[in-house]
Structure 1
Amino acid sequence: MNDHPLPSFGKIALGGATFGREIDQPAAFTLLDHALDRGITQVDTAAGYSAGASESIIGAWLQARRPRALSVATKAIPPYDATTLTTSIQQSLNRLQVDALELFYLHHGHESITDETLRLLDDMVRVGTIQALGISNIKATQLAALLQRQTELGLARFSVLQCTNNLAVSDLDVATRELCVRYRLAVVTFSPIAAGFLTGKHQRGVIAQSRFDLIPGHQSIYFKPDPHARLDALLKLARATGHPPAHLALGWALRHPMATSVLIGGRTTTHLDQAFAVRTIDDGLFRQLDEIAHLSAPPTPLP
């Protein structure tokens, strides 16, 4: 079965992970209003963001503003058995106060994704409850198996992959990129400045109330030799060129050839504006940044 048309993707989309966790509803409304004014056409949220608070804030904003040119993407967390997934979809519809989900992701690759799950998602697409399917945070081996199974069964396929992609850490490995090309998946990337890691502000310890402080699990992803080697190289390039490291990191993520759209989150309109300010970087600088993205830390000397 061929998938329904995707919602409109701009190069920059607004991520709603901070809503209800790091910023309250009035601050989120300000950010959403600003995104709309800047021409952003998609906002991304998830049932797992602040236990549904992000979806509820966006739903209240949709009702208050009635925007015509902005779509909403959301996600369900595992497990993905029929009962749990059906309940999650209905809860997302209720919180967002919409009749259909324009783009719906399974938030994580998980062993509970079975043929039953895929058939349920296909049913939801056929009746119009879901318009397009996506999946995020998944290894290439499982993604390949699921796409093949959807094809074999004649079901609506995942048409969007969402994944981490920044100068420090990327899930866009060779196998994943090949799958995206083969199945024509749109790619939505997130964490372009690695939750603040690529600004260099955590070099002397985690800043209080930062993303790394509020979600300590991020530390195990970034506080490792390879990401630190890439951060050191980025900071050196920033000093040499006079560009802030966050701007270089954003510019690289936005220009990445696989990225259909890049999620920009934040707490203030300034965080969003800086992405618009650095959308283009020249070829030479991009090549230098791309070399940084593939750096590995030198091996630890033997004692």
Structure 2
Amino acid sequence: MNRTFVPSLGKHISQAGLGCVTFGREIDRAASFSIMDYALEREITFFDTASAYGGGASEEIVGQWFAERGGAAAHIAVATKLLPPYDASTLSAAVEQSLARLRMDRIDVLFAHSWHPSIEDDVVLRALSDLVFAGKVRALGVSNFNAEQLGTLLRKQADRGLTPVSFVQNNHNYAVSHVDDALMRMCRDFKVNIVTYSPLAAGFLTGKYRGAVASDVRFEIIPGHKDIYFNDRAWERLDRLMNAAEQAGKPPAMLALAWAFHQPQVSSVLVGCRTTGHLDQALAALAEGDPGLPT
């Protein structure tokens, strides 16, 4: 598995990252621990959580696991996210709350969970930079930003001599992508690491949502996924994937995951799991070459 060394972290992040969105929401502590142990054994070195996941339960479970595993997991980079709106007067307290749940002294990567006008406030940008200088955060990131939004932020940070964003995390899969050429150019020019999530489009690319959506699946748990994927273009992409899978004699999920792992400029692909089998599936796809899916 490829790894990217990130100087600001002093750590390598693995090509496959562990998305911890299911922890405390869809699976319990014991199942979450099993998945993190499995990831550790397979040299996955990037774990991603958020204060919003399970109302803080995901951060708590991740923190409990790290506390129990001690030095064996010290090389793993941990990212978390804060929700908007962003307020300089409350940023420090929000980070302290995440640190308490994570049982850590420092967050490796702190992401702004989504774009909001408040993120461009000079006072907010300085407060974020101050968190790095105070040793509470190693690196800053943004999630669900487009190229224009990212560029505005990077230029402001450069003009004011503030700690720049060094990570962007966006949805990127064969059905729907928020990583376009403009964003990749911006990241290349400013040396920003690209992290992607939802390589299976919340299960859409397995083909299982062609009929009714069951009550215990992610599209029901997060109904907003329907707005993202239930459209003509995404259905057309799914049809292309299903045809390619039939011709290759492989499951569509395998091809979709392999596609995600072999996209240019992507440092890490986050894989969300409810079982260790889901992680096995992703790692098997990583070992595959680029599937050459139709554009």
TM tier, shorter chain? over 0.9
**Worse overlay, 80-89 or 97-106:** 80-89
CA distance, structure 2, for counterparts of residue 251 and residue 37 of structure 1: 21
Report if the CA contact (8 A) 2:109-2:141 is conserved: yes
Out of 69, 86, 104, the residue aligned to residue 98 of structure 1 is 104
Out of 85, 89, 101, the residue aligned to residue 95 of structure 2 is 89
Is 1:107 matched with 2:113? yes
- RMSD over aligned Cα atoms: 1.2
- The equivalences for 1:87-236 within 5 A come to 87-113=93-119, 114-236=121-243
CA distance, structure 2, for counterparts of residue 71 and residue 10 of structure 1: 9
* CA-CA distance at 1:5 after TM superposition: 4.0
* CA-CA distance at 1:263 after TM superposition: 0.3
Does the C-alpha gap of structure 1 residues 6 and 210 become closer, same or farther in structure 2, counting only changes over 3 Å?
Answer: farther
- Percent of aligned pairs with the same residue? 46
CA distance, structure 2, for counterparts of residue 139 and residue 84 of structure 1: 25
Structure with greater strand share of residues: 2
Deviations 1:253-302 (A, max 9, x none): 0011121100011100000111111114445x32xx1x34xxxxxxxxxx
- The equivalences for 1:8-87 within 5 A come to 8-66=12-70, 67-87=73-93
CA distance, structure 1, for counterparts of residue 48 and residue 166 of structure 2: 16
Where do 5+ consecutive residues of structure 2 fail to align? 1-6
Residue type of the partner of 1:164?
N
Q: SS state of the match for residue 147, structure 1?
A: helix
Normalised TM-score (structure 2): 0.94
Deviations 1:86-110 (A, max 9, x none): 2211110000010111111111111
Does the C-alpha gap of structure 1 residues 6 and 139 become closer, same or farther in structure 2, counting only changes over 3 Å?
Answer: farther
Aligned residues: 286
* CA-CA distance at 1:6 after TM superposition: 5.6
Normalised TM-score (structure 1): 0.92
CA distance, structure 2, for counterparts of residue 139 and residue 71 of structure 1: 24
Report if the CA contact (8 A) 2:262-2:289 is conserved: no
**Worse overlay, 140-149 or 222-231:** 140-149
Does the C-alpha gap of structure 1 residues 80 and 6 become closer, same or farther in structure 2, counting only changes over 3 Å?
Answer: farther
Does the C-alpha gap of structure 1 residues 233 and 6 become closer, same or farther in structure 2, counting only changes over 3 Å?
Answer: farther
Where do 5+ consecutive residues of structure 1 fail to align? 293-303
Report if the CA contact (8 A) 1:82-1:116 is conserved: yes
Out of 240, 248, 255, the residue aligned to residue 241 of structure 1 is 248
CA distance, structure 2, for counterparts of residue 7 and residue 82 of structure 1: 28
Residue type of the partner of 1:25?
R
CA distance, structure 1, for counterparts of residue 10 and residue 160 of structure 2: 21
CA distance, structure 2, for counterparts of residue 6 and residue 172 of structure 1: 26
CA distance, structure 2, for counterparts of residue 56 and residue 137 of structure 1: 24
CA distance, structure 2, for counterparts of residue 200 and residue 84 of structure 1: 43
